[in-house]
């Protein structure tokens, strides 16, 4: 089983957290999206050119982080159950997963890319991103007042989605004004499945920032 990923990609991190939670082994294939040669080579495998991208076998493929996690849940009973068996609980997890991707991850990445100069300044896009992020923090802070994880006492796919953008949000969209979100981030950093992912990408991120500042 081959996973094509980039360690700095929040969606790649989301999928990798899930693999760690399930205890499922995979062959990692790092995709250099910053290199024209690397991107061109990857687009021969996946024409969309998006990571993560899973190839369970040579004749089967699974794009997109949520679909990859759904696939893992369907095929493997090991490790953490990331989508509950109960239909209502599963619906809540899937809802929070989509909300995190669309109204937190994407806006955080937009602000981050503008902040570090990878995208041109666009105040309209930035204002819309800030609005969605503020809405998300308010909603999260209320949810997390009485529970450890996004959908209750257990770590789920919703947490796989929510946690990766928080690292970059410390720069692009700080959350210090939301104490329950701050506490959640602290728990997340100590959580083994994310700590393992963070240990890989954080030195790369710091090195890239240092190079840009030089």
Q: What is the mean pLDDT of residues 9-14?
A: 98
Q: What is the mean pLDDT of residues 31-59?
A: 92
Q: What is the mean pLDDT of residues 80-92?
A: 98
Class of domain 87-213: mainly alpha
d(CA 114, CA 74): 38
Which tens digit of pLDDT belongs to each residue from 53-83? 999 988 889 999 999 999 999 999 999 999 9
State yes or no: pLDDT of 122 exceeds 90: yes
Residues linked to residue 7 through DSSP beta bridges, in sequence order: none
State yes or no: pLDDT of 195 exceeds 90: yes
Full DSSP string of 14-44: HHHHHHHHHT---EEEE--TTSHHHHHHHHT
What ranges in 77-156 are assigned the alpha helix state H? 87-100, 106-115, 123-143
Say what the pLDDT of residue 211 is.
80
Identify the DSSP state of 7: T
The strands making up 53-57's β-sheet, listed across from edge to edge, are 27-30, 2-5, 53-57, 60-63
Residues linked to residue 5 through DSSP beta bridges, in sequence order: 30
Same topology between domain 2-75 and domain 87-213? no
Q: Alpha-carbon dihedral of residues 72, 74, 76, 82, nearest 10 degrees?
A: 60
CATH number for 2-75: choose from 3.90.1170.50, 3.40.30.10, 3.30.365.10, 3.30.70.520: 3.40.30.10
Which tens digit of pLDDT belongs to each residue from 136-189? 999 999 999 999 999 999 999 999 999 999 999 999 999 999 999 999 999 999
C-beta neighbour count of 178 within 10 angstroms: 19
State yes or no: pLDDT of 214 exceeds 80: no
Let me know: does 54 contact 3? Beta carbons within 8 Å: yes
Q: In the chain, where are the structural domains located? A: 2-75, 87-213
d(CA 199, CA 134): 28
Say what the pLDDT of residue 33 is.
86
Q: What is the mean pLDDT of residues 112-137?
A: 96
d(CA 16, CA 24): 10
């Amino acid at each position: 089983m081959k996973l094509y990923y980039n360690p700095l990609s929040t969606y790649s991190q989301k999928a990798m957290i899930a693999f760690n939670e399930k205890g499922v082994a995979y062959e990692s294939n790092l995709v250099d999206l910053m290199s024209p040669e690397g991107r061109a080579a990857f687009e021969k495998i996946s024409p969309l050119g998006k990571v993560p991208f899973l190839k369970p076998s040579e004749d089967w493929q699974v794009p997109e982080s949520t679909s990859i996690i759904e696939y893992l849940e369907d095929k493997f009973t090991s490790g953490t159950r990331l989508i509950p068996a109960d239909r209502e609980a599963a619906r809540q997890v899937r809802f929070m997963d989509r909300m995190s991707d669309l109204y937190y991850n994407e806006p955080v990445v937009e602000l981050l890319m503008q902040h570090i100069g990878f995208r041109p300044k666009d105040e309209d896009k930035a204002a819309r991103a800030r609005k969605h992020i503020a809405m998300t923090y308010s909603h999260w802070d209320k949810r997390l007042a009485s529970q450890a994880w996004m959908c209750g006492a257990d770590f789920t796919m919703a947490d796989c989605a929510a946690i990766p953008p928080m690292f970059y949000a410390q720069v692009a969209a700080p959350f210090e004004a939301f104490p329950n979100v701050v506490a959640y981030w602290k728990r997340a950093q100590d959580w083994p499945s994310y700590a393992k992912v963070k240990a890989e990408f954080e030195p790369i991120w710091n090195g890239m920032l240092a190079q840009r500042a030089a």
